[in-house]
Amino acid sequence: MSGEPSGELDGDELWTARPSVGFIGLGNIGAPLARRLATWPGRLVVHDVVPESMEKFTSRGSLGASSGAEVASQCAVICVMVQNEAQVRAVLEGPDGILATAAPGTVVAVHSTISPEAAVSLAELAATAQVDLVDAPVSGGAGGAREGSLAVMVGGTDAAVARCTRVFEHFAQMVQHMGPVGDGTRTKIARNLITFASYAVVGEAQRLAEAAGLDLAKLGEVVRHSDRVTGGPGAIMVRDRTGPMDPEDGLRPIFAHSATLAGKDVELAIQMGEDLGVDMPLALLAAQVLPAVLGIDIYEPPTLDPDRG
């Protein structure tokens, strides 16, 4: 992207000229986000390809629009929550698209999870109309959307992010400016890897517990309770870089202790799996990589049994 558009109104002028906030895409996550914006003082303008989705908003005082262009003719900031890159591009381009009527300096916030490269390409497209596009995926799920407790990870220029932050604060408890366009999406990808890779490990732990005759529902209650106390997997995300930890790093004693506990407990899980006949590939992998993950190499991981693959 080649910087900010030229010839734009300043933030106050644009909000005065087009005081409404737009929202395009009223699906499972989009609708609760838009509901949080229904009290926006300059009014909310909504658009969705399903008319019934808009009726839930227009019946309560929001304005319905027939196209992205109609939304953009009234709004300084437009949130987009559609399914994929093709749909984002469709609401931007053409005579009915946002870029046809958007004022210079308008900010389009794409909340859809697309690729970082797509975010950059779409931002370059928007810049041809002197519009700023930011990628702003969200984390927290449908529950967080309803409660207004989401985290928003934003990629864009400082000026563009400043213009849309007060909009995001209507439905988010955290707004993190991660860097230029594309970095919001890169953050979402890394964040979701933690969740979905953890699901795989949870499945392995459940198989182990089930083989031991344990109550899986009670195990789940223990895990959720202890993660609320400790912070769960994110508790180790306090360093500003990966790699070996410096011997003088103040966190080293804490991480060294964690590495020792990890080595012991993972080995116990592997042994338990062997005793119960449960395959434990993820535990074996964890035993190999955890020291490096923690920046400490202070214990010998178990040797992989070649017969276990």
Residue 20 lies in a domain: yes
User: Where are the strands (E) in the chain, listed by range?
Assistant: 20-24, 44-47, 63-64, 75-80, 107-110, 132-135, 138-139, 150-155, 172-179
The model's pTM: 0.84
Of 181, 214, 244, the one marking the end of a domain is 181
Angle between helices 116-127 and 85-92 (to 10 degrees): 10
Burial class of residue 160 in the structure, from the number of CB atoms within 10 Å of its CB (0-12 exposed, 13-18 middle, 19+ buried): buried
Residue 300 has pLDDT above 80, yes or no: no
What is the DSSP track for 61-126? TPEE-SSHHHHHTTEEEEEE--SSHHHHHHHHSSTTSGGGTPPTT-EEEE-S---HHHHHHHHHHH
Residues 247 and 273 in one domain: yes
Among residues 159, 181, 203, which one ends one of the domains? 181
CATH number for position 104: 3.40.50.720
| Judgement on whether residues 222 and 238 belong to the same structural domain of the protein | yes
175 and 36 share a domain? yes
Instruction: Assess whether 171 and 199 both reside in one domain.
Output: no
Contact 131, 109 (CB under 8 A): no
129 and 234, same structural domain?
A: no
Q: Which residues pair with 151 in a beta bridge?
A: 139, 174
pLDDT of residue 126: 97
Confidence band, pLDDT 50/70/90 cuts, at residue 305: low
Domain containing 203 equals 188-308
Q: Which of 132, 163, 181 is the last residue of a domain?
A: 181
| Mean pLDDT computed over 250-263 | 84
Please give the C-alpha separations between residue 104 and each of 50, 163, 175, 213, in angstroms, as whole numbers. Answer: 29, 13, 24, 64
> Which of 243 and 271 is assigned the larger pLDDT?
271
In a domain, 3, yes or no: no
CATH number for the domain that contains residue 210 = 1.10.1040.10
CA distance 249 to 115: 36
The verdict on residue 2 lying in a domain is: no
- Tell me the per-residue pLDDT of 3-15, one tens digit each, with 9 for 90 and over: 334 345 566 788 7
> Is 56 part of the annotated catalytic residue set?
no
* Active-site residue (options: 56, 188, 218, 264): 188
* Strand 107-110 versus strand 75-80 pairing type: parallel
- Looking at the fold, whether 277 and 295 belong to one and the same domain comes out as yes
For residues 125 and 224, membership in a common domain is answered with: no
Is 165 in the same domain as 229? Answer: no
CA distance to 28, 72, 98, 143, 286, per residue, from 95 (Å): 28, 12, 8, 36, 53
Q: Is the pLDDT of residue 292 over 90?
A: no
Q: Specify the 3-state DSSP secondary structure of 233.
A: helix
The answer on 257 and 168 residing in a single domain is no
Residue 21 · residue 34 · CB < 8 Å:
no
Domain count, the chain: 2
**pLDDT band, very low/low/confident/very high, at 307 (cuts 50, 70, 90):** low
